[in-house]
Structure 1
Amino acid sequence: MKLKDFRWSTGVFLILSPIGAIAALSYYFYYDAFQWPTVVFAVFMAFATGMGITAGYHRLFSHKSYEASAPVRWLLTFFGAGALEKSVIEWSHDHRNHHRYVDTDTDPYSINKGFFFAHIGWLFVKRGTNGRAKVDINQVKDLWADPFIRFQHNYYTAFGLFVCFLFPGLVALAWGDFWGGVLIAGLVRVVVVHHGTFCINSVCHSIGRQPYSHRHTARDSWISALFTFGEGYHNYHHEFPADYRNGIRAWQYDPTKWMIWTLSKLGLTKNLIRMPDEKILESKLEIKSENVTPEKQPELALSRQEFTQAAQEFRQARKAYQAAKKQSGASSELHKSFIEARKSLMQAYNEQKAAIKLALSASAA
């Protein structure tokens, strides 16, 4: 990258902000200057701005994986601005390009350009240079139609700085700690949130398992999920980006998923998209069978056919059950058929998985 292509405002802030955060923490620890209300509020701001990115910028605005009421959209747009990761428009534009061109030179934060580049280096590059595209409103017309998102984009610098620094300072002023609000709930918090988000582009494309696809570098890691608000199940996300969940198991740490689901029970979000179980299982079987040799593939034909049949029957049972629920409530018979079809699907999945394991063992021998 040439010096003239360096994005000075962003680069200088991203370099100096961690230094400032360390200095602020050192001062507060040395002089025992922490006020507990400020610390608690800093945790709230980390959660609110982090969720503004993951539940708002990412799953709602970039992927449209659910629908949200106007107040929820406004709050996610407001607090997302406080993460200082640019506007909804810019963020979503880059992220949609990331999925469209993942792992290619056109991917705005391709891991193939190096860990540092994917983590933070790509933000130092001016738009229109070194493969970083200028914002094309045509790619985010759905978002541009929202007046509040448009307002946030047009006045982002003032908007973002207000939410990031002045807003927490004014709140902390209520207990006489304006500068604590600015420095602890503002500066220190934004550095933590920054690098949590940045890890999604770097760590989540480098470390972990690939249980759903090898078509891209995205990986699943529960450790990554802990500091990315549940975004660590990234292999699943890249394979099924429309799903409102990243961690699809109930026990997988994905607070973003839990918040979206909870809001749906309160009537504040709706039409949460979930990938059908049979598609997820099919993807897992496909990746498990990748290393089966061609001569062993015919041995999988019967169990594969049985899985395909079970998936079709499960799809039909689910469709009938959901249609009945929308009308006047599903009958116990339809519910029973749905449960039985799911059991058959899982049995067929396990049989196909066992057949694949046997074929792999035979190939190794």
Structure 2
Amino acid sequence: MKDQQQPADPVRPWGGPPWRDGPPWRDGLPGPWKWVARDGLPWISTLLITVFVQMGSSYAAKEQLGERADLDVFARLVLLAGTGLLLLRHKYPAAVVFGVAATTMLYLGAGYPYGPVFVTTAIAVFAAVVAGQRRAAWGAIGMLWLGHLLIAHWLYRWLPPDGDTAADWQGEVVVAVWVVAILAVAELFRMRREQWAKDRAERAEAARRRADEERLRIARELHDVLAHSISVINVQAGVGLALLDSDPEQARTALTTIKSASKEALGEVRQVLESLRAPGDAPRAPAPGLDRLPELVQQAASAGLTVEVTREGEPVQLAPGADLAAFRIVQEALTNVVRHSGSRRARVTIGHGKGELELRIDDDGPATQADAGGSGNGLAGMRERAAALGGTIEAGARPDGGFRVRALIPLRPKEMPS
């Protein structure tokens, strides 16, 4: 089973495409050729480079006929060794860049023509820098440059071709520019690759954060909807069972309330789950807000809780997010009263002040359970809703024995009273 595990997002150290099972064309290759792509080595690009260097060197030999040594079998083998090393440039970039520099120095020391042999070195240096082996790249190209200076200005007397003279120092300037250009391009690509990797990681982190926030939002919505509705159902079920024999009509009323509350809960759960549909789909029903407070009061009344609603200040049109948060906070607070308070009366005060919306939910107690203070998910959900809008939640026992939940939600400028 361990061999079947695959990394979630493999990224090659040399910046290649994140193929999980090899290049996409692997399965389409004929049978004898599938091994070429299976090991992950750059066979195709290395083959193209080899053909280019061999053919280009033949052309360079004709152009430099009489000035440099003729290409022979040894020269071909040295060129082939240099390009063959490039096959491992992604797995062993440091070793390859020194190996290619050594074969290039051997080629030049043997007096063979200048030409595409330097392309091999440039590719090896580029691969080493991109892979993060900067010291190896600088060291190898520095070694090659110093070796070229020794060969061109001192050792040429004892090396082929016969009658060779010292190289022009102006040519060394060209070589220096060539070296700097290779290193500059490689460094630029390395920095761009690191930036791409950083951007990709940031996008992945942002996607994970959005997914976490969405899961939290759905969990909070489901908790608020289900906790309130099931509390009402639980109370009415108890009433129905108690009065089933002595007062069937009252029991029927309790069952009717259970049916209504369950239908309401199913509708709201369906609305929450619709957010899991394909992105871009609009919800089929508007999110609840304080305009549905009368329904909430009626549901609480069916559970035996009398709710008195008071409004202070000039009402304003709230943004959808703030309106939903305010509704859910009141709903959860009333649910806690039904579940954890011995009082059958609650007071909801909605204050529209300058710059903020204040919500106060009070009951006279006493608490019926040790967790009546609301230390569970309900209070945590209320705090998360308020915090998401920059607001706060205060919840605790009152000196007279009751309990109060107080929420402050900041308003945006267009929501503030004029």
TM-score greater than 0.5 by the shorter chain: no
Of Structure 1 and Structure 2, which has the larger fraction of its residues in strand?
A: 2
**TM superposition score normalised by structure 1:** 0.23
Which one scores higher on RCO, CA 8 angstroms, separation ≥ 6? 1
Of Structure 1 and Structure 2, which has the larger fraction of its residues in helix?
A: 1
**TM superposition score normalised by structure 2:** 0.21
